Amino acid sequence: MCGRFTLTASGEELAEAFGLDEPPALAPRYNIAPTQPVAVVRVDPAGERRTWSLLRWGLLPRETAEPRRPLINARAETAWVTPAFKDAFARRRCLVPASGFYEWSGAGKKRQPWYFRLATGGPFAFAGLWEPPFDPVDPATVTLLTTEPNDLARKVHDRMPVILPPDAYARWLDPGAGTHAVLRPLLVPFPAGAMSVHPVATVVNDPRHDEPSCVTPAGLL
């Protein structure tokens, strides 16, 4: 699963990376946690213009009569047929910009947090699905797709978020590309050689800590 990530790129970097007309006005985030607002990139209904907005992390499927437990992750292998996700998979896909993400190894009180990012240090995109709110006054909600780990992530966890390469952004956002046959080839582990990882301090375990120290390399427990 993916339960924490960062977004520290500037608005200008994000506008360039994701083809946005205007730079998003976003403060650096070092410890984004479920139920918090996250930036997403979507396209207008015509599929012609990319926009950004803030959605709540934890998808609430509209296929149920009442809101249920927020779903922060969806398995890429089955999301297209899972009742909670299949409509969003077909109609409401988005990019979730990030600068890195955390996973934990070990068990009990000695779990070690690790910080994964691109080797270049630049921003990237998770594959996301979104749902409109049950109540119009609430924000829309979003979930992150996960897949099997690459060789780097496998050392820490048995799943990793789906990271889309830039040349896949247009296809993932395309309103007319909602079939499993078209989209499934995109939902694969990101190349391990294009990523880096280092251990960080357990300060990141508490989502109230949202500061640069969360990503600072630290010694192992």
Q: Is residue 28 part of a domain?
A: yes
Per the structure, the complete domain to which residue 120 belongs is given by 5-215
Percent of the chain with pLDDT over 70: 97
The answer to whether residue 220 sits within a structural domain is: no
**SS (HEC) of 198-217:** EEECHHHHCCCCCCHHHHCE
Domain membership of residue 45 (yes or no) is: yes
Residue 134: per-residue pLDDT: 82
Give the lowest-confidence range in 64-68, 82-86, 153-157, 198-202. Answer: 64-68
Q: Are 203 and 23 in contact (CB under 8 A)?
A: no
Q: Give residue 66's pLDDT.
A: 52
How sure is the predictor about 45, in pLDDT bands with cuts at 50, 70 and 90?
confident
Does residue 128 form part of some domain?
Answer: yes
CATH number at residue 39: 3.90.1680.10
Tell me if 38 is assigned to some domain.
yes
* Domain assignment of residue 221, yes or no: no
- What pLDDT is attached to residue 138? 87
Read off the pLDDT band of 221 (50, 70, 90). low
Catalytic residue numbers read 2, 103
Q: Flag whether 148 is in a domain.
A: yes
User: How many domains does one find in the chain?
Assistant: 1
In the predicted structure, residue 8 carries a pLDDT above the cut 80: yes
How high does pLDDT run on average in the chain?
Answer: 93
What gap in Å lies between CA 169 and CA 20, rounded to an integer? 12
* Model pTM score: 0.95
Range from 37-46, 128-137, 170-179, 191-200 that averages highest in pLDDT: 191-200
Q: How would residue 195 be classed by pLDDT, with cut points 50, 70 and 90? A: very high
Residue range 75-134, pLDDT digits in tens: 999 999 999 999 999 999 999 999 999 999 987 778 999 999 999 999 999 999 999 988
State the pLDDT at residue 63: 65
C-alpha 100/C-alpha 116 separation (Å) is 5
Output the pLDDT for position 179.
84
pLDDT at 48 over 60: yes
Which whole number is the average pLDDT over 61-81? 83
85 domain-assigned: yes
- Separation CA 64–CA 8 (nearest Å): 35
User: What is the distance of C-alpha 156 from the center of its chain?
Assistant: 18
